[in-house]
A and B are shown apart, each in its own frame.
Chain A
Amino acid sequence: MLALALATTQVWAANPEAVAEAARGTALAREGKYDLAIQHYQAALKLDAHLPGLYLNLGLAYFKSQRLQEAAGAFEEAVRADSGNFQARALLGMSYYGCARYGAAAAQLKLASDAQPANTELRYTLAQSYLWSGQNAEAEAQFRILLLKDPESAPVHILLGEVLDASNRVEAATAEFEAAVKASRVPPDAHFGLGYLYWKQQRFAEASHEFEAELAGDPQHAQALTYLGDAEMHLEKEKSAEAHLRSALKLNANLRLANLDLGIVLADRSASAEAARCFQAAIRIDPSQSDAHYRLGRLWSSMGREKEAQEEFEKVKQLAAAQPPPPLIKLPGRPAK
C-alpha cells in the first residue's frame, strides 16, 4: 500500500516556504527518515495548512513510524480536504485497523475497495475489519470473493472459518479449516485451529490428530499441548494426557486449562498434594471460574480438610450466584392474554 502512496507533493500556487519544507520532508521520507520528515511536514503545515497532498504525506510518515493514531488524524484531514481521494481513504482505513477500530476501518475500506475492486490487499483488510467488528455476513461475503480469486488460499479459508465459527456455523467453519490444512503450504496454527473446532464438537479423536499435526511442526506449541491433553482425557488416555499437560505447563505455567486438567488427572490417581497445587494455580490464573474451586473443594474434602473445602464451596456458591443472565430476554410482566 505504501508503495503506491508515497507521492510527490503536488505544488500549486502555494507558499514557497511551505512547499520547500514539504519537499524536504518527502526527500527524508524516501530515505526512511520518517521522524525528520514529520518535522518538516509539520513546519510546512504551519506555513500553509492547505498545501495539497501535505496531510497525505504526513499521514504516510506517521504510518511508517507506526504512529497510527496520528496517522489516522492526518488521513482524516486528507479525506476531509478531498473526499474522492480513495488512496487517503484506504490509508485511513488501514490506520483505523491498526488502532483496532475495526468498525471505522470497515466503513472507510468499503468505500476504498468499491473504488478499487481489484485491490486484493484492500479487500483482505476489509474482510478482517468486518470479522473483528462482528459484521459476520459482510466478512463472509468478502472472504468468499477473495476465494474466487484464489481458491487455494489457506489464510483466507482460515479466516472464513473464523467468521463461520463466530456465526455458530461450526460445521461450515470446520470445512474451511479442513480446506486450509490441505493447502500445499499449511500456515502455522491451521492444524491447531481445526483441532480446536473438532474439540468444540467433542470430536476428540480427530482433534487429537490435528493437535499432533500442529505439534509436528511446532513442538513448542503450548496451547496445542494443552488441548491435546484435554482431548486425551476425554478419550480416557490419562497417561498420555498427563505427559502433554506437563509439557504444556513447562512451556507456559499460566495456562489455566492445563493446570485444571492436570489437577484432575492427578486427583484421579490420588496424587492429592500435587493436584491441589494445580487447582490452586488454575484459580490464581482465573479466580472467576467455579470449576477449579469446586474441584479443589472436593479434593480438600477427600483429604479431610473440611474447613478449606467449605471455603472453596462457598466461593462456588458466590460465583454461581453471579452467573450471567440467561440467554432468553425477559420482557416486562404482562397479563396472560
Chain B
Amino acid sequence: MNLSYKRIACALVLAIAAAWAIASAQNVAAAIHFSYRPIGFRLDSCETPRRHAPETMAGGLAIFDSNNDGYPDIFFTNGADIESLKKTSPKYSNRLFQNDGKGHFTDVTEKTGLAGTGFDNAVAVGDYDNDGWEDLFVGGVHGNHLYHNDHGVFTDVTAKAGLAAAPDPEYGPLWSVGAAWVDVNNDGLLDLLVVNYLAWNLESDPACEAAPGKLDYCHPKFYKPTPNQLFLNNGDGTFRDVSAESGIRAHPGKGMGVGLADYDLDGRMDFFITNDKMYNSFFHNKGGVRFEEIAFNAGVALAEDGKFISGMGVDFRDVDNDGLPDIVFAALDNETFPFFRNLGKGGFVDATRSSGMARQTMAMAGYSPTIADFDNDGLKDVFVTRGHVQALGEAKVLIDQPNTVFRNVGGAKFVALTEESGLSAQPAARHRGSAVGDLDGDGRLDVVTSALSAPAEVWLNDSPGHAHWLELKLEGTASNRDGIGARIKVTAGALTQYEQVSFVAGYGSASARPAHFGLGAAATAVVEIRWPSGTVQELRNVAVDRVVHVKEPGVK
C-alpha cells in the first residue's frame, strides 16, 4: 500500500498559523507595561449586516495640543450613516477631549467646533499657516475637511482652502483613509499628502459571502485603485493640487497608511504608502516637487515572499539607531508585520524574519503600528493595534484581538508583549487607529487606541524603572513651525539615537507630540538638530527628564 501521508511531503503551502502558536518570549522581563483608563468615546462606523467596506475602515485619531496649554489632547474621528454618509446622529460625532495634564479628559467637541459632518476616517495634525496653533485635516469617505485652529476653536475652511474637491473626473469620489502634513519643497510651509483607499460607492458595492447567507467585507480585489493626492501650500491659506505634476497621481493604489521620512538623508522628505493587496508605493522626493516611485528598486514593494499582502498602517522611523529611518507596517494573519531595515544605500532589506517579527506576528492581524520608545531604554519599540478587517470568524481567524507592543531588545530584534504588558486587560476588539503621547506628564509615552463598535482605550504607561528621558518640542522659524522633517540626533551616555520629526502615525492617526527620547541612565544629552531649512543647531549639556522648547535660530 502506498502510504498516503507521503503526500504531505509534497506540500509547499505557506504556513497557516494557529493563533495560540505564537507565544511571547518567556524569558524576557516585561519592561513595558500599560494600565487601562476608560474614555467616553465609542467608534461607530454604522456597521450593517450588508458589510459595506467603509464600515470596517473607520478609526483614525490624534494626540495633539489643541489649546496650547502644554497638555496633549485626544481627537477621535468617527463614522456616519453609511447610506447618506452624514452624521445623522450624535453617536457619529467626532470628539475632542481636553487633557487636564494628569491624564483626565473632558469632552470639548461642541465648543471647539470639531463634531464633523461626514463619514470620517483619518486625521492629520499640522500648523499649516504657522500661526502657532495646530490645525486638523480630517479625511473621509467622499469628503475631506480642513479645520483651522484659532486659539483652540476650529473653523471648517475646506472650501476656502481649495480642498473641497469635486469627484475625481477619472476615478469618481475619493475615500481618504490617511493624510500627512509635510513640507515637500522645504519652503517653510506644510503641504498636504492625502492617501486614498479604493473606489467605493454604495450603489455598486459588491456583496460578498463568507459563508452561505453570511455577508462579510469584500476583498479589495473587487474594487479599483485610486490615486493619492498632493496639495502644495500657497502660503495664503489656500492649496494647489500638484498630484499630477509631482508624479504622485501616476501610481494609483489602495492606500492604507503613509509614513514620512527622508530615507536617503538628502534633505527632502519621502513617502512610503502601504497598499491593500497591491504593491506598496515608495515616492522618492527628487526636489522641485517631483517624486519618483521606487518601491521595487528600494525593496519595499512587497514582503519577502513576493506576494501581495494587506498592507495596513505604517510607521517610518529609525529603529536600529543607525540614523536611517526603517519601516514597520501591519498586515493580516499569515502575512506577518513586515520590518524593512534601511541599509543606507538606497535600499532596504526585509528583516521581518531575522527580527523575530515573522515568527511572532504570523497569527496576528493588525492595523496601526507606532514606533516609539516605551521603556525609555534608548531603543524604539513598536506598538500595534490588532484586530481583523473581517467581521465573521472562520475556524482559524481571530476577529477580535488584543493590542501588542513589540519591545526592541537590541540587535534589531523584537519581543512581543501582550499579556505581559497589561494589554489583554481589556476585551479583545477590532482595534483600528492609535496615537502616542505623554498624556500624564510622567515621561513615559502613553497610547490611545480606537476599536470598531467598542470603547476607545487609553493605555497609560506605567512601565517599571526610572530611566531618564528627554522631549524636544521644536519651533521652526525659517522651517515650518512644527519642525516636521527636522532630523534630530541625541547622544546620551554611550548611546546615539535619531528621530525625524513627523506627526503621522499608524493607521489614519497622528501623534503630534514633542520628539521623545528614552535615555536610560544618562543624566545629560547632546542634541543636534538639522532643520528642513538646512540650519544645524546644537545643544550641549541638556538636562533630562523634561520637555525642552527649541526654536530654530534665525528669523524667517
A residues at B contact (CB < 8 Å): 128, 131-132, 155, 158-159, 161-162, 165, 168-171, 187-190, 192-193, 196, 199-204, 223, 233-234, 236, 256-257, 264, 268, 289-295, 297-298, 301-302, 306, 309-310, 313, 316-317, 319-320, 323, 325-331, 333-337
Contacts and interface: CB of A to CB of B under 8 A. Distances in A.
Nearest to B362: A202
B297 A309 contact: yes
A335 B219 CA distance: 19
A203 B5 contact: no
Nearest to B345: A302
Contacts of A323: 307-308
A256 B52 CA distance: 41
B308 A188 contact: no
B286 interface: no
B9 A326 contact: no
Contact of A168 (B12, B22, B396): B396
Nearest to B15: A200
A261 to B, nearest CB: 11
B184 to A, nearest CB: 26
B221 interface: yes
14 contacts: A131-B4, A132-B4, A159-B5, A169-B395, A201-B15, A202-B22, A204-B359, A297-B296, A310-B296, A316-B296, A320-B279, A328-B208, A333-B207, A336-B50
A337 B18 CA distance: 37
A78 B41 CA distance: 76
A287 to B, nearest CB: 13
* A contact patch SS: helix
Of B203, B206, B207, B221, the most chain A CB neighbours within 10 A belong to: B207
Interface stretch (B298-306, B464-472, B525-533): B298-306
Nearest to B220: A326
A298 B4 contact: no
Given A155-B3, A189-B6, A329-B209, A294 B306 contact: yes
Nearest to A173: B8
B306 A301 contact: no
Given A201-B21, A234-B359, A291 B306 contact: yes
Contacts of B279: 317, 320
Contact of A331 (B6, B16, B52, B208): B208
Interface string B281-300: 00000000000000011010
A309 B353 CA distance: 23
A335 B203 CA distance: 6
Contacts of A203: 21
Given A301-B297, A326-B221, A328-B218, A334 B15 contact: no
A16 B318 CA distance: 96
A302 B296 CA distance: 12
Contacts of A336: 50, 52, 82-83, 202-203, 205
Interface in B203-256: 203-210, 216, 218-219, 221-222
A256 B11 CA distance: 11
B354 interface: yes
A291 B359 contact: no
Contact of A330 (B8, B204, B206): B206
Nearest to B83: A336
Contact of A158 (B5, B204, B219, B302): B5
* B contact patch SS: loop
B299 to A, nearest CB: 6
Nearest to B297: A301
A331 B15 contact: no
Contacts of B6: 189
Nearest to A335: B203
Interface of B: 3-9, 11-13, 15-18, 21-22, 50, 52, 82-83, 202-210, 216, 218-219, 221-222, 279, 296-297, 299, 301-302, 304-308, 347, 353-354, 358-359, 362-363, 395-396
Given A162-B4, A291-B305, A202 B209 contact: no
A328 B21 contact: no
- Listed from nearest, the 3 A-B pairs whose CB atoms lie closest are A294-B306, A326-B219, A290-B306
A313 B205 contact: no
Given A202-B17, A320-B308, A223 B9 contact: yes
A301 B299 CA distance: 9
Contact of B4 (A128, A190, A234, A306): A128
A9 B301 CA distance: 73
Contact of B347 (A169, A264, A268, A302): A302
A99 to B, nearest CB: 13
Nearest to A314: B296
Contacts of A337: 50
A331 B9 contact: no
Contacts of A268: 354
Given A313-B296, A336-B205, 7 more contacts: A132-B4, A200-B16, A202-B362, A290-B306, A320-B279, A326-B218, A331-B207
A236 B13 CA distance: 21
A201 B50 CA distance: 33
Given A168-B395, A189-B6, A328 B210 contact: yes
A268 B83 CA distance: 52
B220 to A, nearest CB: 8
A202 B359 CA distance: 7
A295 B304 contact: yes
A181 B307 CA distance: 35
B297 to A, nearest CB: 6
Given A201-B15, A320-B308, A328-B209, A298 B299 contact: yes
B85 to A, nearest CB: 12
B302 A294 contact: yes
Contacts of A313: 296, 301
Nearest to B299: A298
Contact of A334 (B8, B207, B306, B395): B207
B216 A328 contact: yes
A301 B354 CA distance: 21
A309 B295 CA distance: 13
Given A170-B16, A293-B306, A189 B207 contact: no
Contact of B206 (A189, A199, A289, A331): A331
B353 A234 contact: yes
B222 A330 contact: yes
Contacts of A306: 297
B22 to A, nearest CB: 7
Contact of B208 (A256, A289, A329): A329
A329 B307 CA distance: 21
A171 B18 contact: yes
A27 B299 CA distance: 74
B207 to A, nearest CB: 4
A265 to B, nearest CB: 11
Given A294-B302, A328-B210, A301 B16 contact: no
B307 A162 contact: no
A325 B9 contact: no
A203 to B, nearest CB: 6
A204 B360 CA distance: 12
B206 A193 contact: no
B50 A202 contact: no
Contacts of B3: 155, 158, 187-189
A316 B302 contact: yes
A117 to B, nearest CB: 21
B308 A189 contact: no
A223 B203 CA distance: 52
A333 B209 CA distance: 12
Given A161-B5, A233-B353, A328-B208, A290 B307 contact: yes
B254 to A, nearest CB: 13
A174 to B, nearest CB: 9
A254 to B, nearest CB: 12
